[in-house]
Amino acid sequence: MTHLLNMKKIVIEGFSSEEERWMPIINSLDLTLDRGEVLGLIGESGAGKSTLGLASMCYTRGGCRISSGSIIFDGMELFGQSDEFLRKIRGVRIAYVAQSAAASFNPAHRLIKQYAEAPIQHGKMNFHEAEKKAVDIYRRLLLPDPEGIGYRYPHQVSGGQLQRAMVAMAMACTPDIIIFDEPTTALDVTTQIEVLAAIKKITREFNTAAIYITHDLAVVAQLADRIMVLRYGDLVEENNARELMANPKEEYTRALLSVRTLREERDLSATEHDVVLEVENVSASYTGKADEKVLEDINLKVRRARTVALVGESGSGKSTLARVITGLLPPLEGKVIYGGKELPPALKSRDRTTLRIMQMIYQMPDTALNPRHKVSDVLGRPLTFYFHMRGKERDQRVKELLEMIELAPKKYKDRLPGELSGGEKQRVCIARALAAKPDLIICDEPTSALDQLVAEGILKLLQDLQNELHVSYLFITHDLATVKAISDEIVVMLQGRIVEQGVKKDVLAPPHHKYTELLLSSVPEMDPDWLDNVLEERKRKGIVMREFV
């Protein structure tokens, strides 16, 4: 039987301006796809999965080229064809769904106008017909108000709805293949599950073949019939999805599959560990008005050498709480208490010691490090600032800090942030926080911008440092897998309020608060039947996501 898409010995190169020559990105890979089949492409950043996915419509991003191979789509060779020819295929027979719908929609046009663009351009239908079809597809994608939603502007719908509107756009010409490029990566878990359900439904209904690109094995397991694991432009493993999940053959696949379990259960009787930080009845607002609160009545305690995980979706106020604690946003009401003493609410009125004992680690290590400061300057400044260290003493301490974060001092101390990888940058950020000898480190999603294996390394490092230095963490995250891996206590936030809090064991064990349950049940598991089961169970119990929005 002939395949719908048959890519053979694809070699893709990217131009490296540093070395001024073409470097391979994809090394002679084969890829096949049958009608109605969903193929999962999985790998970490730089694995070449997006590049390979895009190559299926004979397209490369700027600075890349397909240098050899063959791409046979429905009996036609695409490689080497004119742009004119390819234009007739792209968008009509092979469509693409990008990662960030918010960045991909034109904010100045209504959704339906952007939806209709491809079918009208390709002469498939007129605007009136496109409108009718759009409503049908919107309905199939379970979008609310399918008749009206198309007439909204992109900013008037939520992130998950926008992502589904983009899937609808790709569906406009009823293509044979859709390429999904990490369509749910930027979404919250509870939204992700809706988009996944919608994608699964519509690809089945139209019998559309799909290439699903992601770094999350649990997500791809829900959709894909077959999975290809890529690394550094090479194929690591390819197999039927169920088979691959059940019996991974390669070490690398096993590493991706392994569920993180870093922390043993620890005794957390309140008397054993003194409280480092206490937040009492805190409410806050960005406008200063009492009726526009973004945080309401927050109470929590962080104990010495323990980790409190602050969980919630975007907009739940977790980062705002961090801003209140650090003094960047003075609260409307309530107190932040450190070591039994109330801290001044505003940053300006806090003294150096108060500033020193609380440090922060940010989500994006790229923007958290000044690109013009060398590693040794980044780490040396807090030493000089807080401890008046200079010269040899300071160099020695910088060296110790680098050793602590497992980076060779000689090799790394003179580098600029641009010369470090994402994980190394985050390590430097951790060292910068440690340089101040803090009691508490507020970690604002420190691993969510990193690849899975790198993130695991960072979590493990944080864990080791805690055991060694007895520092406490307030760990802000939306990723429940991380929470399970590292926390002692969990605080669940929803729309600026705490809905549930307590020791990990208690929070994770039923009975849950309704929202906690929704959140917990939305985390994809490494089980191909997970999505179907969850959706069925929700239907049975009558849980609707919209209750919480």
Contacts with another protein by CB under 8 A lie at 17-18, 326-328, 347, 350, 352, 355-356, 358-360, 362, 364, 367-373, 381-382, 385, 418, 432, 436
**Residues 373, 416: Cα–Cα separation, whole Å:** 6
Q: How far is the CB of 349 from another protein (least distance, A)?
A: 11
Using an 8 Å Cβ cutoff, are 23 and 237 in contact? no
Q: Which is nearer to another protein, 360 or 458 (CB)?
A: 360
β-pairing, 307-311 vs 295-303, is unpaired
DSSP type of residue 524: -
Q: How far is the CB of 410 from another protein (least distance, A)?
A: 21
Using an 8 Å Cβ cutoff, are 345 and 327 in contact? yes
Say which residues have a Cβ less than 8 Å from residue 261's Cβ, sequence separation at least 6.
484, 485
Can you say how many angstroms the Cα of residue 329 is from the centroid of all Cα atoms in its chain?
26
DSSP type of residue 150: G
Q: Which is nearer to another protein, 10 or 458 (CB)?
A: 458
Q: Which is nearer to another protein, 43 or 382 (CB)?
A: 382
Q: Which is nearer to another protein, 332 or 435 (CB)?
A: 435
Q: How far is the CB of 288 from another protein (least distance, A)?
A: 13
Using an 8 Å Cβ cutoff, are 316 and 497 in contact? no
Torsion (CA) 41, 43, 47, 48 in degrees, nearest 10: 20
Q: How far is the CB of 368 from another protein (least distance, A)?
A: 4
Q: Which is nearer to another protein, 183 or 382 (CB)?
A: 382
Using an 8 Å Cβ cutoff, are 192 and 119 in contact? no
Using an 8 Å Cβ cutoff, are 531 and 196 in contact? yes
Q: Which is nearer to another protein, 357 or 520 (CB)?
A: 357
Tokens encoding 288: 């200063």
Q: Which is nearer to another protein, 3 or 350 (CB)?
A: 350
Using an 8 Å Cβ cutoff, are 101 and 162 in contact? yes
Using an 8 Å Cβ cutoff, are 480 and 189 in contact? yes
Q: Is the peptide bond before 371 cis (omega within 30 degrees of 0)?
A: no
φ, ψ dihedrals at 408, nearest 5°:
-65, 120
Number of H helices, E strands in the chain: 22, 20
Sheet hosting strand 76-77, strand order edge to edge: 21-33, 5-16, 64-73, 76-77
From residue 493, alpha-carbon distances to 231, 331, 332 in Å are 37, 17, 19
Q: Which is nearer to another protein, 2 or 17 (CB)?
A: 17
Q: How far is the CB of 189 from another protein (least distance, A)?
A: 24
Instruction: Output b/e per residue, 251-265; b: 16+ Cβ within 10 A.
Output: ebbeebbeeeeebee
Q: Which is nearer to another protein, 347 or 545 (CB)?
A: 347
Q: Which is nearer to another protein, 222 or 359 (CB)?
A: 359
Q: How far is the CB of 377 from another protein (least distance, A)?
A: 9
Q: How far is the CB of 18 from another protein (least distance, A)?
A: 7
User: 539-545 long-range contacts, Cβ below 8 Å, gap at least 24?
Assistant: 543/514, 543/517, 543/518, 545/190, 545/191, 545/193, 545/194, 545/518
